[in-house]
Chains A and B, each alone.
Chain A
Amino acid sequence: MEPLAKNYVGREYSMKKIGLIVNPIAGMGGSVGLKGTDGEIYKKALRLGAKAVTPKRTKELLSYIKSRKEISLVVAPGKMGETYVRKFDIAFKLIGQTPKETSAEDTKRIIGKMLNGGIELLVFVGGDGTARDVYDAVDSKIPVVAVPSGVKIFSSVFAVSARAAAEMVDAFIEGTDLTEEEVLDIDENAFRNNRLASKLYGYLIVPNVKKLLQAGKEASSIDKSSVDSKNEIARYIVKHMDKETLYLLGPGTTLKAIANDMGLPKTLLGVDAIYDNRLVGIDLNEKGILKLLKKYKSKKIMVTPIGGNGFIFGRGSKQFTPEVIRIIGRENIILVGTYGKISKLECLRVDTGNFEIDKLLSGYIRVVVGEKEEMVMEVRC
């Protein structure tokens, strides 16, 4: 039997059950210039005198949640949640065990228990690494709210601040709709060497409050939601698709919206192929793509840049190899993305591993961001 906190008694009925998990070491590398705490680096951070960042962020989060009386938290003991929750008048229940030195496996294990316990929303405090762990454990089972607690946060799944995260929790309680946001896989070793090497890791479901999200902010409250924007792009693209042409659709939710608009399934992280409203390839690798390119005369690629860093080739869609891009040609690449995502990018990037192809892709290119709206972006390599 899990211990039941004193202030939990009698308040469970009709409350939303929300999991809260804190990565106590996230963000510690920042103050001592280590850019992250993946692997063993956090021990070095400790030696250098780094202080924990997450307590302050977690307290901020809890102090700004307005719907405290309507939620009951499920938290891990000690520094992974309980320590901070005890200071607030919020009903909570403990679950799992927190070891002295926490790891990614602890995060995943405890989240698993929370899911079994029936949480409806998971709030986590951490960085990009924590988001990956949460994705591994949660996938798309329930929505999450991500509280940024790091120096550099690249995944668009994160709220802009702890306070914004609290507002997202309130919005969830009020019944806001949901959307999918990116989780990126950041190579911390590369980042320490001032190189941004990241790829799309997956998608988490979040309350659809765009202005509160890190890289998914829309132009204003009167702008369309991310979901509506993707659907608008999809309708426009489908309307203008050529007949007798092979379309290779890269990963991402915007491309999925395009396939869905045609009534076709689409793998979220894979490359799928469509020809005359028919699915002719699913989750293709380079070999599969090259085979299709031989078969069809007219062919185009549709891709969406990765949020935050703007990579269109070389990260997240490795299936589009230099050979594939060479055969397709620059003029047959269609770029799509919501204005909320594209306007946040300084430029688009390519890193195919082939300098010649990267050069070919460089320069200015248009991205479809709406039914009658395009953005001119610079592609850099």
Chain B
Amino acid sequence: MLNEIKLNMNEMPYPPPKEIIEAAQKGLSNLNRYTNPKELELLREFLADYSDVSKRHIILSTGSDFLLREIIHVFSKGRRVIMVNPSFFPTVQCAKEFATKLIKIQLRPSEFNLDADIITNETNEPSLVIVDNPNNPTGKILIDREMAEAILENKDVLLVVDEAYYEFSGATFADMVEKHPNLSVVRTLDKAFGLAGARIGYLIAGENFLDAFSTFFTFLPQSSLYAAIEAMRDPSYIKKNIELTIKERERVSKELEKIGFQVYPSTTNFLLIKTNIPDIARELKDREILVFDISNQWLPGYIRVSIGTPKENNIFLSNIKEIHKVHAWRGHKP
């Protein structure tokens, strides 16, 4: 095993309860069999109950990114794909590859606001709008209900909201799906549920999406399915982890601000940090701390740092302080 501190993929640093791990192990004993459709149905029921929608709207998949890819494949034909920049990177790459026309709206610091008028102006043709809400990597809620309602009024527009960090932000449009056939919400058990290794994603699909997914059937891996069912049987365990993550997020943010870094408010389990120290991600990597360098796809000087355990966060903070000291004499502000 590597000793690296992984603060680059927004994972939950705490393992799930032992009951879930035992369930996953139980699933492994059935490795010679495909998953039982009845158990898949049970997971759908649990997820429908958790999301407060009827079961028919729930589509299962191995990872929410796979669902987003499928949506782009199916619904970008004859439609423009509209996204913000930056956004969840695998989705952007997929849209670049398959969309007939990709329009990206540049978010700019320090507010990272998405202007409702731009979306309205850009959706004057049939469009597929994909928004990660909260946005990855800014951690900001980009659209509210009023804005979503305005977008959904146009029936030529399909709106897909990626709510991978819903459990941290508390903001959701899931309850609007039954009313708006042109809305879908994508979620995952990778983040708050601490099941990134199980790769369970689900779509809360509006009526206009359901037809396309009617033949979409996924046999989830046995261990993933068992773990997910156990997790959804009693999801209350995530509450403590979320609270601890948010508390740590605010602590790390304040500590970084004390040094002089610009840290943006977040509604997720990660922080967006602005720095003038060149190549800081690589310097941290040299110290076996992995963070995500956003300058590869957006403005220079930004890194995204996931919130780890208090111990991991302390190691990150002490190292970034050291790096700052080394650079301070050169005139680099944090």
A56 at the interface (CB under 8 A from B): yes
User: Closest chain A residue to B108 by CB distance?
Assistant: A346
A344 at the interface (CB under 8 A from B): yes
Q: Please give the distance in Å from B316's CB to the nearest CB on chain A.
A: 20
User: Closest chain A residue to B82 by CB distance?
Assistant: A376
Q: Which residues of B contact A29 (CB under 8 A)?
A: 331
B29 at the interface (CB under 8 A from A): no
A347 & B102 in contact (Cβ 8 Å cutoff): no
B278 & A161 in contact (Cβ 8 Å cutoff): yes
A279 at the interface (CB under 8 A from B): no
B109 at the interface (CB under 8 A from A): yes
A26 to B100, CA, bound (A): 47
A31 & B300 in contact (Cβ 8 Å cutoff): no
- Partner-contacting stretch, out of B154-162, B198-206, B258-266, B290-298: B290-298
A25 to B93, CA, bound (A): 43
A161 to B300, CA, bound (A): 13
A211 at the interface (CB under 8 A from B): yes
Q: Please give the distance in Å from B105's CB to the nearest CB on chain A.
A: 4
User: Closest chain A residue to B332 by CB distance?
Assistant: A151
Q: Please give the distance in Å from B326's CB to the nearest CB on chain A.
A: 10
B172 at the interface (CB under 8 A from A): no
Give 8 pairs: A residue, B residue, CB < 8 Å, sorted on A: A148-B278, A160-B295, A218-B296, A220-B89, A343-B86, A372-B99, A372-B101, A376-B104
A222 at the interface (CB under 8 A from B): yes
A343 & B103 in contact (Cβ 8 Å cutoff): no
B96 at the interface (CB under 8 A from A): yes
B106 & A217 in contact (Cβ 8 Å cutoff): no
B102 & A372 in contact (Cβ 8 Å cutoff): yes
A163 to B299, CA, bound (A): 20
Q: Which residues of B contact A318 (CB under 8 A)?
A: none
Q: Which residues of B contact A160 (CB under 8 A)?
A: 278-279, 295, 300
Q: Please give the distance in Å from B328's CB to the nearest CB on chain A.
A: 9
Chain B positions 50-106 with a Cβ under 8 Å from a chain A Cβ: 85-86, 89, 92-93, 96, 99-106
Contacts known (A366-B103, A372-B102, A376-B122); A53 close to B331, Cβ less than 8 A: yes
Number of A-B contacts (CB under 8 A): 97
User: Closest chain B residue to A215 by CB distance?
Assistant: B300
Chain B positions 120-168 with a Cβ under 8 Å from a chain A Cβ: 121-122
B118 & A56 in contact (Cβ 8 Å cutoff): no
User: Closest chain B residue to A219 by CB distance?
Assistant: B297
Chain B positions 294-310 with a Cβ under 8 Å from a chain A Cβ: 295-300
0/1 interface trace, chain B 16-53, chain A, CB 8 Å (1 if under): 00000000000000000000000000000000000000
A377 at the interface (CB under 8 A from B): yes
B247 at the interface (CB under 8 A from A): no
Q: Please give the distance in Å from B90's CB to the nearest CB on chain A.
A: 10
A78 at the interface (CB under 8 A from B): no
Q: Which residues of B contact A51 (CB under 8 A)?
A: 329
A27 at the interface (CB under 8 A from B): yes
A139 at the interface (CB under 8 A from B): no
User: Closest chain B residue to A374 by CB distance?
Assistant: B103
Q: Which residues of A contact B279 (CB under 8 A)?
A: 160-161, 163-164
A30 at the interface (CB under 8 A from B): yes
B331 & A220 in contact (Cβ 8 Å cutoff): no
A377 & B278 in contact (Cβ 8 Å cutoff): no
B85 & A375 in contact (Cβ 8 Å cutoff): yes
Contact of A345 among B106, B295, B330 (CB under 8 A): B106
A98 to B115, CA, bound (A): 56
Given known contacts A373-B96, A374-B103, A376-B122, what 15 new A-B pairs fall within 8 Å (CB)?
A30-B332, A151-B332, A160-B295, A219-B297, A220-B89, A220-B93, A342-B106, A345-B106, A364-B121, A366-B103, A372-B99, A372-B101, A375-B85, A375-B105, A376-B103
User: Closest chain B residue to A376 by CB distance?
Assistant: B105
B104 & A374 in contact (Cβ 8 Å cutoff): yes
Chain A positions 14-34 with a Cβ under 8 Å from a chain B Cβ: 27, 29-32
A225 at the interface (CB under 8 A from B): no
B251 at the interface (CB under 8 A from A): no
B239 at the interface (CB under 8 A from A): no
A319 to B266, CA, bound (A): 45
A14 to B115, CA, bound (A): 59
Chain A positions 330-367 with a Cβ under 8 Å from a chain B Cβ: 342-347, 364, 366
Q: Please give the distance in Å from B282's CB to the nearest CB on chain A.
A: 7
A376 & B118 in contact (Cβ 8 Å cutoff): yes
0/1 interface trace, chain A 22-53, chain B, CB 8 Å (1 if under): 00000101111000000000000000000101
A317 at the interface (CB under 8 A from B): no
Most buried by B among A27, A30, A163, A343: A343
Contacts known (A27-B331, A31-B329); A217 close to B295, Cβ less than 8 A: yes
Contacts known (A161-B279, A344-B299, A364-B118); A30 close to B330, Cβ less than 8 A: yes
A378 & B103 in contact (Cβ 8 Å cutoff): no
Q: Please give the distance in Å from A178's CB to the nearest CB on chain B.
A: 21
Q: Please give the distance in Å from A82's CB to the nearest CB on chain B.
A: 22
User: Closest chain A residue to B296 by CB distance?
Assistant: A217
A343 & B85 in contact (Cβ 8 Å cutoff): yes
Q: Which residues of B contact A226 (CB under 8 A)?
A: none
A164 to B293, CA, bound (A): 15
Q: Which residues of A contact B93 (CB under 8 A)?
A: 219-220, 222
A214 at the interface (CB under 8 A from B): yes
Q: Which residues of B contact A164 (CB under 8 A)?
A: 279
